[in-house]
Structure 1
Amino acid sequence: MAGISLRKARTIIRKALEHGRAEGMKPLSAVVLDDGGNPIAFERGDGASPGRYGIAHGKAYGAVMLGMGGRAQRDRAEAQAYFMAAANGVYGGAVVPVPGGVILRDARGRMLGAVGVTGDSSENDEAAALAGIAAAGGLTAEP
C-alpha cells in the first residue's frame, strides 16, 4: 500500500462518525492526514461546532509529526510539559496533545498517516477513531 486512499480515508471518517452517533456521543468531526501531515479527507458531523477542523487536525498532525498517538502525547505532556510546549512551538501551535489522534500503520508497521477525531470527550473521540480504523480494515491503529 502506497498510502491511504481517499476511499479508505472516507470509510474511516464515515465509520467513526457512525460510531459516535450509535454511542450517543456529541456531534463529531474527523480528519485523515497522510504521512506528511496533509489532509486527505475531513467531515464535520451535523451539529458539530465549526471550529472542530482545527482540533481534529491538531490531534492527527501531532501524531504524524511526533510519531506518537494522542494518548502518548498526553502522557508525555503530563511527564514533561516543557517538551510538549517546545514541540508545539516548533509546529506553530498546531499540535493538540490529547487522545483522539491515532497513527495509522500498514501491515509492515510503516506509518501511513493519522486520524483525528473531536467533538466529545477525548476518550470517546479516540474510541470513534479506533472504530473507524477497524471498519476500514488492513490498518493498525496506534493511539
Structure 2
Amino acid sequence: MSLTLAQARAIIDAALDKARADGAQPLAVVVLDAGAHPVATVREDGASLFRFDIAKAKASGALGMGADTRVLAARAASNPVFFQSVVAATGGRLALSPGGVLIRDVEGAVMGAVGISGDTGDCDEACAISGILAAGLFHGDVK
C-alpha cells in the first residue's frame, strides 16, 4: 500500500495539533514514502534553520535502518563507531534522536516514515505517533 498525500497531510495536521496542545516549540515535519521520497513537509513559523534537515534525517534514517530513531539511538550508544560510519556513509541522512517513526499499514508493512524536529526528542516522537494514529495508520510493532 502506498502512502497518500491525504494520509501524509493528516499525519502532519494531527502532529501539529498535538504539538500546540502540549505547548511544544515550533516544529518541522517531514513525511516520506517507503522509497524515502517526500510526500509532504511543513515548517512552522519560528522553527529554527536546521529543523527541516533534522526532521528529514530522522525520517530517512528510520527508513534506511528499518527502525524508529529511538531504537537506533539506543543501539548507537553501544556501538558508536558503526553508527558514526553510517552517518558519514549516508551523507548525514540519519539523526540519532527520537522523532523518526516508521509508518506501517495494518499488516505491518512499512509505508514510509515521519520525522519531526523542534522540541525534545520525546516530544517530537509523541507528536509523530499521534499523527500516525490519527491518520488511521500504525507505527513500530503496534497493530
TM-score, structure 1 normalization: 0.95
Q: 1: CA distance between counterparts of 2:83 and 2:75?
A: 7
Separation (CA, whole Å) in 2 of partners of 1:55 and 1:140: 23
Counterpart of 1:85 in structure 2 is 84
Give the aligned partner of residue 140 of structure 2: 142
Aligned with 1:26: secondary structure? coil
In the TM superposition, residue 51 of structure 1 has moved relative to its aligned partner by 2.1
Post-superposition shift, 1:23? 0.5
Between the aligned partners of 1:86 and 1:94, the Cα distance in structure 2 is 12
**1:81 shift after superposition:** 0.4
Tell me the residue number matched to 2:18: 19
Residue 41 (structure 2) aligns with: 42
Q: Deviations over 1:94-135 (max 9, x none)?
A: 210110000011111111110001100000000000111111
Rounded to whole Å, the distance in 2 between the matches of 1:48 and 1:20 is 13
Instruction: Point out where structure 1 has 5 or more consecutive residues left out of the alignment.
Output: none
Partner-residue secondary structure (3-state), 2:116: strand
SS in 2 for 1:53: helix
Runs of 4+ with >4 A deviation: none
Mapping of 1:1-143 within 5 angstroms? 2-137=1-136, 139-142=137-140
RMSD (Å), alpha carbons: 1.1
Q: After TM superposition, give the deviation of residue 13 of structure 1 in Å.
A: 0.6
Counterpart AA for 1:4 = L
C-alpha separation in 2, matches of 1:45 and 1:18: 12
| Gaps in structure 2 of 5+ consecutive residues | none
Q: How far off its partner does 1:12 sit?
A: 0.2
Task: Specify the code of the residue in structure 1 equivalent to 2:38.
Answer: P
